[in-house]
Amino acid sequence: MTSPRPTITAFKASPDRGQGLARDMRVRWALEEVGQPYDVRLVTFPEMKAPAHRALHPFGQIPTYEEGDLVLFESGGIVFHIADTHAGLLPDEPKARARAITWMFSALSTVEQSIVELQFVMFAERDKSWHGERQAMVHDRIRARLGELSDRLGDAEWLDGDFSAADLMMASVLLRVRGVGLLGEYPNLAAYVARAEARPAYKRAFAAQLEVFHASQAQGA
Ligand code: GTB
């Protein structure tokens, strides 16, 4: 039985200006990896907070995922669903599958956590008297996690065997700190992310979200 073609939501005008850092990117990437065509509904900030969108996403955010009468929110849940229902992103062998899922959770709850903190520091706390001190503290927290991850990855190509949803999620998270220079301090992690970005599915997803940004610029959004 084939699933209905899913629709995801993404920013109409992403604040990252097409860098592919918003969380629709990881969903697009997963869909591209498994060869699942999809539609995108673009939403403005006010639309995200309106009742119609909140019916899909209780926190008024992107991304969401609609597939027939199934509605999902949370990029982790969405990517897991895609990986779970298509071949190619999770191993079939039960223990390897469980390890890959564990790494997905770890990317989101252990590694991304302090990276999200940095987002607040950079965008919401710039004018605070304690900004510099807090930024240094959060940078160090991120460095601690990156150092541990770097030690575990070592010279391996991917986190646990072949490329999986675990790597898709971890690379998506790590990309968020490349712009502030932290990823470059860990050459094996930088190379890991570069390998992930070189995947054709990543490139297709990146191009699709960049096209949205260019369209929003052309419309003066
Ligand atoms: N835990 C949720 C998930 O993983 O899906 C978090 C979803 C989330 O934070 N969505 C953000 C959002 O909708 C967009 S991705 N924000 C609007 C709001 O909360 O009102 C986060 C994001 C935004 C911008 C950049 N950037 O500019 O670089 C990067 C990431």
| CATH (domain of 173) | 1.20.1050.10
Strand ranges across the sheet with 39-43: 39-43, 7-11, 64-67, 70-73
Ligand 1 centroid–CA 181 distance in Å is 21
Total number of domains in the chain = 2
Ligand 1 site residues (CB inside 6 A) read: 15-16, 21-23, 48, 60-63, 74-76
pLDDT tens digits, one per residue of 177-210: 999 999 999 999 999 999 999 999 999 999 999 9
Pocket test for ligand 1, best of 12, 62, 73 (most atoms within 8 A of CB): 62
Residues 49 and 77 in one domain: yes
pLDDT band per the 50, 70, 90 thresholds, residue 3: confident
Residues 13 and 105 in one domain: no
Report if residue 2 sits inside a domain. Answer: no
pLDDT tens digits, one per residue of 36-62: 999 999 999 999 999 999 999 999 999
In this prediction the pTM is 0.96
Instruction: Note whether 118 and 177 are within 8 A (CB).
Output: yes
**End-to-end Cα, the chain, rounded Å:** 41
pLDDT tens digits, one per residue of 100-156: 999 999 999 999 999 999 988 988 988 988 999 999 999 999 999 999 999 999 999
Number of the ligand 1 atom closest to the C-alpha atom of 16: 27
Number of the ligand 1 atom closest to the C-alpha atom of 23: 15
Domain hosting residue 65, numbered range: 7-88+201-218
Residues 84 and 178 in one domain: no
List the CATH number of the domain containing 37. 3.40.30.10
Our CA dihedral for 68, 46, 44, 14, rounded to 10 degrees, sits at -120
What contacts 162, CB < 8 A, 6 or more positions away? 91
